[in-house]
Amino acid sequence: DVCFLTGWIRNSSVRLNLRRLEVYSTGAGSREVGDYGAVKYSLGFAPAKDGEHQFKREEILRNKNLGPADSGLLAAWLAKEDTRKQLKSIDISENRFLFDFETTKEERKQLLHMQPFESWADFCESLEASAVTEIRVGETRLSPTPARLLFRSSTNLHVLDVQGNPITGEDLVDPATSVAVHTDHLCAMTALRELVQASEMMYVLDLSRCELNAAALHELASPADAWANSSIQTLLLDGNPLTTGDFGTATALTSLHDDRPVATLQAQTDHEDCSGTAALFGALSHPGTRVTELDLSYCGLGARSADAMAEALHGAGIQQNLRTLRLTGNHLGGIVIDELSDGTLWWV
């Protein structure tokens, strides 16, 4: 029982002596072919051929069918002194039942004292106190409330990867409370903006395919000096409907991969909401920004966003540092800017 193990690991004598743990995951679901249920995974020292064990600097638990109880176990393991000091990287991507409480709903209804996302909150608390500098939580159905908890605990990270998650969507209903946890779609984005402003060590932020719309991007990038002293160098926003006004439009831009008539694409960009992209480019034009790589592929950018981008390229920040800019799949139109500092032309 993973919950029993979690309490056992928190015992002081166990924490000092336990070096390796193998356990079966608690998530539900199935692969494309067949039911696979629980998956064995291990934590701690890696076995070696010579009989010695070497401490793992990274825990790769991608696609292990982890459930909510597993995040509690990870929290207890991460709180162990040796793990807290030596572990540098955690990958729990592609665990799509990490926040799915359906399999334990009857038990959770009996735990009247349980708080929403309690095991995940414990994990975030352990993360903040650890030496971990890289975490990958992509494709886990991370919703606004657990995302907010994660962002508030990530000030020591160098790499934060939350790609493919509905961080502006709806929280799953927890049977322990029987109601959705929040009503604020932007609570995670507010916490992320505060993280961007506070962190002095984060270099990579991957927000690809996170259902971010114009309002979400505006929240992340405002006020204009929000990114003035940000350490972020790689910012990945591809696959987000950044110029739409509705939440929950994750698939709105997939059709941009199609060979549609220019007139159809133009009609879409006529309704472009550029409040978010304008805020982003305004923030990135600040002299203190350090972004060297920016991916805005398939984000629904049109002429209005292109104008804001062109203006930002005159700024001291993005123009001085940017080395890679990806704009594939956006209908930007034909634009030429001939006022760059080196006198060269810039075409889109």
Position 61 scores a pLDDT of: 95
At 343, list the tokens. Answer: 């006198």
Position 30 scores a pLDDT of: 45
The full 3-state SS of the chain, as one line of letters, equals: CHHHHHHHHCCHHHHHHCCEEEEECCCCCECCCCECCCCEEEEECEECCCCCEECCCEEECCCCCCCHHHHHHHHHHHHCHHHHHHCCEEECCCCCCCCCCHHHHHHHHHCCCCCCCHHHHHHHHHHHCCCCCEEECCCCCCCHHHHHHHHCCCCCCCEEECCCCCCCCCCCCCCCCCCCCCCCCCHHHHHHHHHHHHCCCCCEEECCCCCCCHHHHHHHHCCCCCCCCCCCCEEECCCCCCCCCCCCCCCCCHHHHCCCCHHHHHHHHCCCCCHHHHHHHHHHCCCCCCCCEEECCCCCCCHHHHHHHHHHCCCHHHHHHCCEEECCCCCCCCCEECCCCCCCCEEC
pLDDT tens, N- to C-terminus, the chain (348 residues):
677 778 778 777 777 788 888 999 988 754 443 345 788 999 987 666 655 666 778 999 999 999 888 999 999 999 998 899 999 999 999 999 898 766 555 554 544 445 568 889 999 999 999 999 999 999 999 999 999 999 999 999 999 999 999 999 888 665 555 555 556 889 999 999 999 998 889 999 999 999 999 999 999 999 888 888 889 999 999 999 999 976 655 544 444 444 444 434 444 555 789 999 999 998 988 888 889 999 999 999 998 888 888 888 776 667 788 899 999 999 876 544 444 455 444 444
For tokens 């690809």, the residue is 208
Say what the pTM is.
0.84
Closest CA to 99 of 118, 126, 125, 84: 118
